[in-house]
Amino acid sequence: MPDKLQIDFKTSTRSLTGDRGVFYEATNRAIIVLPNHESYDDILATIQHESIHFCLKDTDDLDDEHEESIIWKMAWAEYDLI
Ligand SMILES: [Zn+2]
């Protein structure tokens, strides 16, 4: 499997109710659920979020909560708010 991130956009929420996006490490695929977003900027933030999951996927000493914490801090650091 190529070590590239594939991003797919979903236009319905039938299988991922409530989620804005998800990253599947086994296939290096992120799904962005468009109807669960409120704005274009919101969509870009989700793409960034799932892309960072891809970048961190080979870091063995991070669990899911660590990854979420890192991604959250990166998002807010952009605005000097942490
Ligand atoms: Zn996440």
pLDDT in tens, 16-72: 678 899 999 999 999 999 999 999 999 999 999 999 999 999 998 999 999 999 999
Rounded to an integer, what distance in angstroms lies between the CA atom of residue 82 and that of residue 12? Answer: 34
Rounded to an integer, what distance in angstroms lies between the CA atom of residue 49 and that of residue 43? Answer: 10
Q: Rounded to the nearest whole angstrom, what is the distance from the C-alpha of residue 69 to the centroid of ligand 1?
A: 9
Other C-beta atoms closer than 10 Å to the C-beta of 10 total 17
Q: Rounded to the nearest whole angstrom, what is the distance from the C-alpha of residue 1 to the centroid of ligand 1?
A: 22
Q: Rounded to the nearest whole angstrom, what is the distance from the C-alpha of residue 8 to the centroid of ligand 1?
A: 16
Where along the chain do its domains lie? 6-77
pTM (2 d.p.): 0.86
Rounded to an integer, what distance in angstroms lies between the CA atom of residue 76 and that of residue 72? Answer: 6
Residue 78: the pLDDT is 81
Q: Rounded to the nearest whole angstrom, what is the distance from the C-alpha of residue 68 to the centroid of ligand 1?
A: 5
